[in-house]
Amino acid sequence: VASLPEPISRLVAVLSKLPGVGPRSAERIALHLVQNEEGAVRSLAEAILQARQKISECQTCGSLTEQQPCIFCADPRRDHALICVVERAVDILSLEKAGVFHGVYHVLGGKISPLNGVEPEDLRVTELEKRCVDSAVSELIIALPSDVEGDATSYYLNKLFTNRGVKVTRLAHGLPVGSGLESADELTLSRALEGRRQFSS
Ligand SMILES: [Zn+2]
């Protein structure tokens, strides 16, 4: 924005790269920040930095955590033989909010997409294989979005792990097509989980 002082337009540019923040909101936030109390702005900046510094991926499941392993992987009350495979760390939040899953998680970090150059080795598939070797895993529940890439990834994982003697199931349909777990409500999620079934060959 040419009419704004350079430090503000730089802030607008950075803010508008954030997910869900369009150019108009970025401008509004930037103008709010530069007119806010300096202490409040400093707290915000420090909170962002601290969160970034303290949070890492769980080395086992890939969820976002402050401790290694994460609270899910470290929890003896959870069923560690039951692994729910999700695309992104945020999907865990959706399932936890629904409160119907008592196993552990595995974050893939994406979906197989040859068009976008995403191959299985770009995802946390090797880590999942290792988990299935290292501990007694009785079932993998695939909870990926039901879009083309999600389906391709689900079938890939089904084949890979069925061949290794692990039972693989996927959430029952009913999740909104083309979207993630994020947009599914709790009832839909719990029904999808209860109605999970093995892949038809
Ligand atoms: Zn973990």
- Which pLDDT tens digit goes with each residue over 37-58? 999 999 999 999 999 999 999 9
Q: Give the residue among 199, 196, 177, 162 at the shortest CA–CA distance from 84.
A: 196
Neighbours of 109 (CB within 10 A): 17
Element of type H or E holding 198: strand 197-198
Six-digit token pair at 123? 């995802």
Q: Report pLDDT digits (tens) over 17-41.
A: 998 999 999 999 999 999 999 999 9
Q: Give the residue among 51, 48, 12, 57 at the shortest CA–CA distance from 30.
A: 12
What is the 143 CA–ligand 1 centroid distance (Å)? 17
What is the 79 CA–ligand 1 centroid distance (Å)? 13
What is the 41 CA–ligand 1 centroid distance (Å)? 33
Amino acid identity of 30?
Answer: A
pLDDT at 102: 93
What is the 180 CA–ligand 1 centroid distance (Å)? 20
Report d(CA 109, CA 33) in Å as an integer: 33
Per-residue pLDDT at 174 exceeds 60: no
pLDDT at 40: 97
What is the 35 CA–ligand 1 centroid distance (Å)? 41
What is the 102 CA–ligand 1 centroid distance (Å)? 13
Task: Quote the pTM value.
Answer: 0.81
